[in-house]
Amino acid sequence: MNFDKVLPELKPFGGKVLKTSLTNVEEERLRKALEGLNTGGVAT
């Protein structure tokens, strides 16, 4: 994926794009934790 080409296309939607070298399992854990922050709940 070429981030230099993708990022300008995503800019109108706002938010942040994170690039990581996490494993799929670690990425899923991070996603759940971030979703918990957005909802005010506690991620497990």
Residue 13 lies in a domain: no
**Considering its fold, how many domains does the chain have in total?**
1
Residue 1 lies in a domain: no
Going by pLDDT thresholds of 50, 70 and 90, the confidence category of residue 41 is low
Residue 8 lies in a domain: no
Domain membership of residue 34 as a residue range: 19-44
Instruction: Between 39 and 18, name the one with better pLDDT.
Output: 18
Q: What is the pLDDT of residue 36?
A: 84
Instruction: Between 29 and 3, name the one with better pLDDT.
Output: 29
Residue 12 lies in a domain: no
Cβ(37)–Cβ(27) under 8 Å?
no
Residue 32 lies in a domain: yes
Q: What is the pLDDT of residue 37?
A: 81
Residue 3 lies in a domain: no
Give tens-digit pLDDT for 10-38: 899 988 887 789 999 999 998 899 888 87
Mean predicted confidence (pLDDT) in 1-7: 80
Cβ(20)–Cβ(27) under 8 Å?
yes
- Classify each residue of 8-27 as buried b or exposed e, where b means 16 or more C-beta atoms within 10 Å of its C-beta: eeeeeeeeeeeeeeeeeeee
DSSP state of 16: -
